[in-house]
Structure 1
Amino acid sequence: MTYTFPKDFLWGGATAANQFEGAYNLDGKGLSVQDVTPKGGVPFEPGALNPLITDQPTPDNLKLEGIDFYHRYKEDIALFAEMGFKVFRMSIAWTRIFPNGDDAEPNEAGLAFYDKVFDELAKYGIEPLVTLSHYETPLNLAREYNGWTNRKLIGFYENYVRTVFTRYKDKVKYWLTFNEINSVLHAPFMSGGIATPVEELSKQDLYQAVHHELVASALATKIG
């Protein structure tokens, strides 16, 4: 028996904004947790509990520049098309849209950037598959609210979701709410923006943060 993929199967690849966009401080973008974790936000030293977190971005944080997709998106998307991509999974950097996470109004320059990316993808017939939150909680929400341990983040996330759903409703059909919610349990700062040192966190703290993200995910689905 021969098995074949359907003609409309979406072949492609995946990225996250914090890994490859670069331009971490341009056009009104705020800082995310990734911008102060040069080693990725999880402990790499034997026996370590907490990740390396810096006060401000440091030159050894390669994510600050990434592959500079922010400026090279046209040539990169052309290469995706050459590879035969039918779908491109990417994430929106929350801090390009709401630099502090709790801002009253969105940053138009950030919204305009993703308009250009989606238009370029459409030119080649590539469907965007957009992750709303992929390990890049706004740093302000980590420092001022202790990230997803705080129920207030549900409201901030809802505001962000409504903004991008409204802006891109005619350009994006496929959305993902969060990348790997369960990773809060082993990488609380990177995944959940939780600033409390790991050794001071209880399982109750971690599972409460997971619960808040799950509620936010359900709310985003309802809004969609």
Structure 2
Amino acid sequence: MTATLSPTARTRVIRSHERAESERSALYDVLDSGMVAHLGVVIDAAPRVLPTVFAYDPDGPDLDGTLYFHGSVASRSLVDAPDQTVCLTITLVDGLVLARSGFHHSVNYRSAVVLGNPRPVDEPAERDRALDLIIDHLVPGRAETLRPPTRKDLAATTVLAVSLHEASVKARAGGANDEAFDVEAGDTWAGIVPLTVVPGAPITNPDCPPELEVPQHVRALVRKRD
């Protein structure tokens, strides 16, 4: 596994190339922090971009690691995906950049793009691990508390894997890049409004027994907001 990103012609950052990240650790940062990937796939000669939860394994069986995603066996996006190159993007919005002109308003962000031909994950051990990884990516420690999937569950679920080899990461940080004459005018506020996603207090399902407490792994997730 390479420590640096090796973008191909399809993933090389052209515009604002100074914002491109070269270390693979930057890709892991985006994947660790993101909860939803957007899958771009062509269906009936038309592009579709659909959200999906995901997980990754940097030591997975594919070149430079594996990105896993899943959905219904009836989903056209997953049925058609293995026959083509797909694009998965994960974007984190870290702040609103408010400038002294509309032209220079921007967003601080971290974004990853992964291209590849998905492969179906049919081998039972890898499929089970992929499904656990997806659950634990959303709520660490959750998978081991759940019952194993039934045959019916597995028959209704498609799991796909994409290599992390062909990937790029782009990020913006910092304040507004205003024109000197706008700064000198001194009559308009400029700055950053940071944005974060924080978990709220858990809401217990009404059909849970009243004595059933919120589990430790859920409490741990909520404590991250403090």
TM category (shorter chain) comes to: under 0.3
* Structure index of larger Rg: 2
**Which protein is richer in helix relative to its size?**
1
**Which protein is richer in strand relative to its size?**
2
Question: What's the TM-score, normalizing by structure 1?
Answer: 0.26
Greater relative contact order structure (CA < 8 Å, 6+ sep):
2
